[in-house]
Structure 1
Amino acid sequence: MSAVSFQSVSKTFNTSKGLFQALNQVSLDIEEGEFFGLLGPNGAGKTTLISILAGLARASSGSVKVLGRDVRDDYAEARRRLGVVPQELVFDPFFSVRETLRIQSGYFGVKNNDAWIDELLESLGLADKAQSNMRQLSGGMKRRVLVAQALVHKPPIIVLDEPTAGVDVELRQTLWHFIARLNREGHTVLLTTHYLEEAEALCSRVAMLKHGNIVKLSPMSELLKSASANVLQFKTDSLLPTAMAERARVTGRIVQIPAQDAGDVEGLLAGLRQGGVVLEDVEIRRADLEDVFIHVMNEQEHSGKGVAA
């Protein structure tokens, strides 16, 4: 039995401009114990899919099950098996951190939960804030509390929707250390993130969404093997030759150009010299998930809306 099963899920919204299809026949199974990544640009449908999973929105068609429990027909049991960390900072300003977690425990019918609450507070760096009112916490600390709330009833499936957006390095390290431990202990994790280095380091399998369609579904190892063998990376203040600029990914002064092999690298360097491009900090690196992601998204842009791959 799958931990999470999406079967032919579609979602259409009525907008002032007419009907908008956020999801189009999405089918996807996440196995128990997986660390699964759901990736895509803004507006791809990731949060809509998670909202349907969590019962915050209803699919226009299709079905979603959590450990065999339908999220509509058996919603109480389905939600009990989920712990969801949302993108937005949502909190009750009238309670302390510990009170917030106790109330969340009660929401799921969990009693005498102080030992686990203490472990959550310690593991997420919140122990010294346990008696602090939620209004007194920084944005990063509030996000830690959101994570603790999602985990307080020990759900077998953890859903993280952009959990490290806008947070500091310390929180990222603390969070991923703890979540990786829970995954090793058997918890299933579903992650959406724009930090692709996190997905590459943590996820065993990923699905890429664009325009509400799954355009790539693959184990991480196979995705990386399918990428260009190398990337030529350097810094420059010069303009690139037109043909090269079309292939390049430019971030400020940093230029990255995919290269299939050593001969391709030599040809690129020769073309740059001929074009009078002054290079600094030249290096050749292996292609990473970001390179694969950009390639897949560009392919779909040129070919139109894709189907599950």
Structure 2
Amino acid sequence: MCDNPLLRVSNLVVKYGTFTAVNKVSFQLCPGEVYCLLGPNGAGKTSTIRAIIGLVKPVEGFVEILGKNPYNEVVVKNYFGYVAEDPVLIDSLTPREHIEFVGAVRGVGKEFEEWVNYLVKAFEFSPYLDKPVYSLSRGNRQKASLILALMHKPRILILDEPFTGLDFQSSSVLRKIIEDWRNNSHGVLMSTHILEIAEKICTRIGVIVDGRLVFEDRIDNVKARLQGGEVFSELLNELVKDNVVQVDWGERG
């Protein structure tokens, strides 16, 4: 915990009709931290993230991003960069047109041109800049979404299953960017259902199951418990037993 978190989520409840997708979830993202919402598919990770960025309005609880309410203050949108689990792009436009449009909306000036060019080169994306989105593969759509989220150098990266569809080279680039964000006292909130990603990238994890945050701890504390010979998946199952929840962590992909 920290005195001035980049992101504060308190008692968040999200419902779709009578179905409760997120149930009283609370956590913080501190500067220099990579916080991972870890859980199986359908656990409530995406609904939590959508509520944080204002795509879904919670029925209870509140969210603060750098001390501001994301639902009432438009300026908050510039504080974070968001990558959805399924890339949200306009099929008829090219990635270059997306970059130009988002740059104009966010007020990104010429000083960011070098950074955007670096991202395009790092993700080996130059051949696809002028192709319509509908012609791009899933992986290249993901690269375009990452460039758009990163181009204004936000304080917070919010990444929903960000490694889906990425090849080894692009995954390595993204890991390096996440590390740089953390080292510069920025923050990263990401979701995943892949244990290895949480173990290797995140500094703190929150295990979410059936819409509830059932466990939270720093990853180094979790790893310390692994000295006894437990594997990560077995330990997580042990940790959530007290909540009368049993999770199958064998799923990948």
Fold-level similarity (TM above 0.5) = yes
Greater length-normalized contact order (CA 8 Å, ≥ 6 residues apart): 2
Q: 1:127 to 1:288 in 2, by over 3 A?
A: farther
Equivalent in the alignment of 2:99: 101
Deviations 1:134-160 (A, max 9, x none): 233221111101111111121110011
> For residues 53-202 of structure 1, what are the structure 2 equivalents within 5 Å?
53-74=52-73, 76-112=74-110, 113-202=112-201
Q: Which residue of 2 aligns with 1:294?
A: 237
RMSD: 1.9
Aligned length: 242
Q: How does 1:278-293 map to 2 (within 5 A)?
A: 287-293=230-236
CA contact (8 A) 1:23 1:213 kept: yes
Partner secondary structure for residue 110 of structure 1: coil
Q: How far apart, CA to CA, are the structure 2 residues paired with 1:3 and 1:54? A: 13
SS in 2 for 1:68: coil
8 A Cα contact 1:55 1:79, kept in partner: no
Point out where structure 2 has 5 or more consecutive residues left out of the alignment.
247-253
Secondary structure of the corresponding residue to residue 106 of structure 1: helix
User: C-alpha distance in 2, partners of 1:160/1:115?
Assistant: 23
Q: How does 1:236-251 map to 2 (within 5 A)?
A: none
Give distance in 2, aligned partners of 1:97 and 1:166: 17
Q: Which one is further off, 196-205 or 294-303?
A: 294-303
> Identity over the aligned pairs, expressed in percent?
26
Distance 2:232 2:170 in 1: 23
What TM-score do the two structures reach when normalised by structure 1?
0.73
Which residue of structure 2 aligns with residue 11 of structure 1?
A: 14
Are 1:196 and 1:290, in contact at CA under 8 Å, matched by a contact in 2?
yes
SS at the partner of 1:70?
Answer: coil
Q: Could you tell me which residue of structure 2 aligns to residue 46 of structure 1?
A: 45
Q: Secondary structure at the match of 1:44?
A: coil
With normalisation by structure 2, the TM-score equals: 0.88
- Quick one: which amino acid aligns to residue 130 of structure 1? L
Contact 1:161 1:193 (C-alpha < 8 Å) held by counterparts:
yes
